[in-house]
């Protein structure tokens, strides 16, 4: 293969094309950090998803995704459903504080009907 048949490489690119070899991967936001911010926020404040987004500065779509994941693993719980302060529509107020969580109602199930 001679010099003319080679594709564009770092050595023979025109000066007008800039090689982006100086990209810093540290500038990519850390997703784990954001979910920890949301979890810490709900430990101290009983708030809606919209309120968490506004007060933490994390995008609402990301907050909703993190909250759904935290609800699924049992780190958050819906404490009450009430009108939101900002939208006046019913919204879920969430908390990560275990003392505010509702206790599950224990019901003993029986396999057989009780005979009198």
Entry pTM: 0.61
What is the C-alpha to C-alpha distance for residues 48 and 53, in angstroms, rounded to an integer? 9
What is the C-alpha to C-alpha distance for residues 2 and 12, in angstroms, rounded to an integer? 13
What is the C-alpha to C-alpha distance for residues 59 and 73, in angstroms, rounded to an integer? 21
pLDDT for the residue 9: 52
pLDDT for the residue 66: 92
What is the C-alpha to C-alpha distance for residues 55 and 41, in angstroms, rounded to an integer? 9
37: Cβ contacts below 8 Å, ≥ 6 apart? 56, 58
pLDDT for the residue 26: 44
Measured over the CA atoms of residue 38, residue 41, residue 42 and residue 43, the dihedral's sign is positive
Per-residue model confidence as pLDDT tens for the chain (116 residues): 555 555 555 555 455 445 544 544 444 455 568 888 999 999 999 999 999 999 999 999 999 999 999 999 988 999 999 999 899 999 999 998 888 877 777 777 777 776 65
pLDDT for the residue 34: 86
pLDDT for the residue 3: 57
Residue 85, φ and ψ in degrees, nearest 5: -65, -35
């Amino acid at each position: 293969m001679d010099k003319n048949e080679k594709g564009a490489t770092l050595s023979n690119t025109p000066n007008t094309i800039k090689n982006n070899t100086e990209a810093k991967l540290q500038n990519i936001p850390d997703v784990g950090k954001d979910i920890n911010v949301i979890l810490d926020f709900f430990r101290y404040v009983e708030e809606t998803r919209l309120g968490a987004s506004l007060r933490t500065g994390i995008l609402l779509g990301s907050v909703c995704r993190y909250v759904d994941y935290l609800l699924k693993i049992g780190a958050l719980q819906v404490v009450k459903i009430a009108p939101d302060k900002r939208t006046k529509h019913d919204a879920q107020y969430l908390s990560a504080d275990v003392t505010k969580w509702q206790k599950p109602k224990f019901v003993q199930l029986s396999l057989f009907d009780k005979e009198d």
